[in-house]
Amino acid sequence: MTQFLLYNAPQSTCSQRARFVLNAKGLSFEEIKLDLFTGDQLKPDYLKINPNGVVPALIHDGRAVLDSTVIMEYLEDVRGDVCPLSPQDPVERGRMRWMMRYIDEMPAPSIRVPSFNLAFLPHFQDMSEEAFVQLANSKPLRKEFLLAMGRTGFPQKEMDQAIDRLNRSVARMDEWIAQSGGPWLMGKSVSLADIAVMPVIVRMADINLDKAWEDKPAIAHWLHLIRTHPAFVPTYYTGSLLTEKYPHLASLRKTAA
């Protein structure tokens, strides 16, 4: 019997973190794919599992573990013996968690702005204002985000601020790699901090924001390493990249470097 059940969405950056850790540890899991644009995550049955109305949610032996960062740490707690993804030393482990907090505060929310403007906006453009406001009001966590975006997208100023925050986050990653000696953020071994930031960097590459590291070879090398990790391909199955899912973005697609 599969012990792990993952409610998630292929293109969701938070879901990609959970899938990667499950795959890296070789844990078999059943995936339930929610359609975030028809509102599967807001249906009463799912809200009973995750009252925040977001993915991912992991069910392990019938009990729910919520939030992608918590899920990554939980999987490390229960299967730290297989493909360990945290340093043993408590101070180093604390540093890794500090990196993860930074990632959750800086790049993870910032990538949503270009993602929505470039990819997701068409889902909302044909809605009436009334239906749009009703949708926003139904979102436990993302009401204000959606209202700020509106049906015409985030204004240029907000796009510029988000890109600036993403670029600063890439510069911070570059510093961490230099400090640890690389090639990963924490040094010689891949850690939960790398997996936490992975979906942001993969998304930036997907939507042509990779200029951020054209003068940073350590980041390009880091991206190559994560893409060639055995957990990458099963995590990023077809339809996980925006340029694969959205035909209007196909022109952004380039062959992987």
Ligand X SMILES: N[C@@H](CCC(=O)N[C@@H](CS)C(=O)NCC(=O)O)C(=O)O
Nearer to ligand X, 145 or 182 (CB): 145
Q: Which helix (H) or strand (E) holds 8?
A: strand 4-8
Q: State the nearest-atom distance from the C-beta of 115 to ligand X, in Å.
A: 9
Q: How many residues would you count in the chain? A: 257
Q: How far apart are CA 147 and CA 17, in angstroms?
A: 27
Please say which residue, 13 or 191, places its beta carbon nearer to ligand X.
13
Q: Is 31 in the site for ligand X (CB under 6 A)?
A: no
Residue 68 is a binding residue for ligand X (CB under 6 A): yes
Write out the two tokens for 36. Answer: 């975030």
Name which position in 21, 55, 99, 119 contacts ligand X (CB under 6 A): 55
Shortest Cβ distance from residue 38 to ligand X (Å)?
Answer: 11
- Closest approach of ligand X to the CB of residue 10, in Å: 11
Cα 18–Cα 88–Cα 61 angle in degrees, nearest 5: 40
* 201, amino acid identity: I
Binder to ligand X among 14, 118, 186, 204 (CB under 6 A)? Answer: 14
Distance CA 36, CA 26 (A): 27
Q: Determine, following the binding rule CB under 6 A, whether residue 12 of this chain makes contact with ligand X.
A: yes
Among 4, 6, 13, 96, binds ligand X (CB under 6 A): 13
Look at the alpha carbons of 22, 227, 93, 51 in this order and tell me if their dihedral is positive or negative.
Answer: negative
Using alpha carbons, select from 107, 113, 137 the residue that is nearest to residue 201: 107
Cα-Cα-Cα-Cα dihedral sign, residues 145, 150, 153, 155: negative
Q: Determine if 23 is a binding residue for ligand X (CB under 6 A).
A: no
Q: Which amino acid is at 71?
A: I
**In this chain, which of 21, 22, 27, 36 binds ligand X, going by CB under 6 A?**
36
Binding residues for ligand X restricted to 137-176, rule: CB under 6 A: 139, 142
119 binds ligand X (CB under 6 A): no
Q: How far is CA 42 from CA 57, 136, 179, in A?
A: 13, 11, 43
Please identify which residue in 22, 27, 54, 65 interacts with ligand X, judged by CB under 6 A.
54
> Which spans of this chain sit near ligand X (rule: CB under 6 A)?
12-14, 36, 41, 53-56, 67-69, 139, 142
